[in-house]
Structure 1
Amino acid sequence: MNNKKGFTLVELVVVIAIIAILAAVTVPSFNGYLKRQKAEECRTQQKALVLHLKSERLRDPSMTMEKVIDKYKSELYCSDGGDYSAPDNNTVCCSKEGHGETSGVED
């Protein structure tokens, strides 16, 4: 009688196949989640810059978005490695994400 304990090769292959299938399903989903998270983080940074602009304009009505970006440059972080710019005095855009946020305040 053979009383060896352990797993057969077939059992191990089945487990590895199941793990591979689970990985094939979850990895793309996780990558999509990371991309959405980076885009949302970028939009949050843009909204923060707009709030900074509104706040700064209470003290100095001539404040522009470009000046706000320069002032808070050390605090800015784009998770995708993009840069923030101000195509006009009320809008901030990200070079990576391509969308912008407008302050709603006219000059």
Structure 2
Amino acid sequence: MAWAGMAADLNAKMTPEPAACAAQHDPLSGFHQACPGSSGRFNKVSEVIRAGLRLLEEQQQHFATRTLELKAALAEGMQSGEPQATDEVFDVIEAQVRELANSRR
């Protein structure tokens, strides 16, 4: 019992408080004070967190919108018919351009 008590006491003395530990290892710990502007853009850490969460939400909405756009484009491509080789497509276009040019002469 004595050893367990001493180990627990020693462990408590050697282990830093969680907040102090986080502040030592967190590269953003002073960000709210070091932001551009003479008085700083953020006065509290909670303001930094809110701004970060807003950006994250914006990014997720953009990602969701872009995903829907890409899925729609993929579906449109799949419904457009059989794929064709680019050489064949350009040959057809060149023939149409030549035909149009000859008809205007």
Q: Normalised by the size of structure 2, how large is the TM-score?
A: 0.34
Q: Normalised by the size of structure 1, how large is the TM-score?
A: 0.34
Say which structure, 1 or 2, has more relative contact order (CA 8 Å, 6+ apart): 1
Q: Considering fraction of residues, name the structure with more strand.
A: 1
Q: Considering fraction of residues, name the structure with more helix.
A: 2
